[in-house]
Amino acid sequence: MWASSGAVSKFLFNEGMTPYDLVQIRVTLASLILGAYLLIFDSPLLKVPLKDMKWMIVLGALVMALVQISYFYTISRLQLMSAILLQYLSPILVAIFAASFWGEKMTRLKLLAIFLAFTGCYLAVGGYNINNLRLNLEGIIGGLIAAVSYAVYSLLGEKLMSKYSPWTVVFYALFFASITWHFVHPPFKYINTSYTMGQLLGITYIVVVGTIGAFSFFFWGINYIRSTRAMITATLEPVSAGVIAWIFLGEKLEPLQILGAMLCICAVVILQIRADQDLLAPQLLRGCEKVN
């Protein structure tokens, strides 16, 4: 769902829509639909004390707003798979942050993952060709901003989700992001804009399928498998995006770009498997103590 909505957004950009218009529409409609659903069917999830609401505002008005625009801007500038892969640097950045500020040990496996990720992204964006770097520099910068902002979103979101439902966090993140985008971009511009039927269908798909639907299935999946394994499964997104973009958008990747994509995905999988083992080890020790 995430991969296909990325392809649809690329189609909308090719049709003349700007990333700024699309991000404003996406966060606004998604927050309205999700908010209405929670209000009707599970209103207690909307209750957040004032002391934590300030962090929800930071997460949404600053971080989510930046995540959304940097993601769409990068897609508008780069090939779809390369754009999504750049955002997949975020787990690597989180690992570096944890080692630098939280005292987590920087193991050889983590160093290998970091090396694979940066090498892979360098190849995926065509860094081996100086002309590619010059032509795609703005998109690459946008992708790096997307990776950093998504890493911050992951860290702050994880902190909030330790106390609140994921749906509470996602709703307020989208809601406050929509407020930001009505300040920094002409408010309610979409009301006075005429869209073609194809554009309306594309917008609807991104909001319903690529936002609400994708998050719904992701959280549903976490109920059945560990979150780290869910993240490993989610690395299918750039692969799926590459296939979809090749079939429907005619985007073709060079062999070195495909190699770079494989290295990036390997890096994320290595980190997530390691995280899964780190979480599992204390549980196994407790189990052994009970047996003894």
SS3 of the chain: the string is CHHHHHHHHHHHHHCCCCHHHHHHHHHHHHHHHHHHHHHHHCHHHHCCCHHHHHHHHHHHHHHHHHHHHHHHHHHHHCCHHHHHHHHCCHHHHHHHHHHHHCCCCCCHHHHHHHHHHHHHHHHHCCCCCHHHHHHCHHHHHHHHHHHHHHHHHHHHHHHHHCCCCHHHHHHHHHHHHHHHHHHHCCCCHHHHCCCCHHHHHHHHHHHHHHHHHHHHHHHHHHCCCCHHHHHHHHCHHHHHHHHHHHHHHCCCCCHHHHHHHHHHHHHHHHHHHHHHHHHHHHHHHHHHHHHC
Rounded average pLDDT over 249-278: 78
* Model confidence, pTM: 0.82
Rounded average pLDDT over 10-31: 94
Rounded average pLDDT over 19-38: 95
With cut-offs at 50, 70 and 90, classify the pLDDT of residue 186.
very high
Whole-number pLDDT of residue 287: 46
Range of weakest confidence among 85-89, 240-244, 281-285: 281-285
Does residue 288 surpass a pLDDT of 60?
no
Whole-number pLDDT of residue 290: 47
Whole-number pLDDT of residue 228: 55
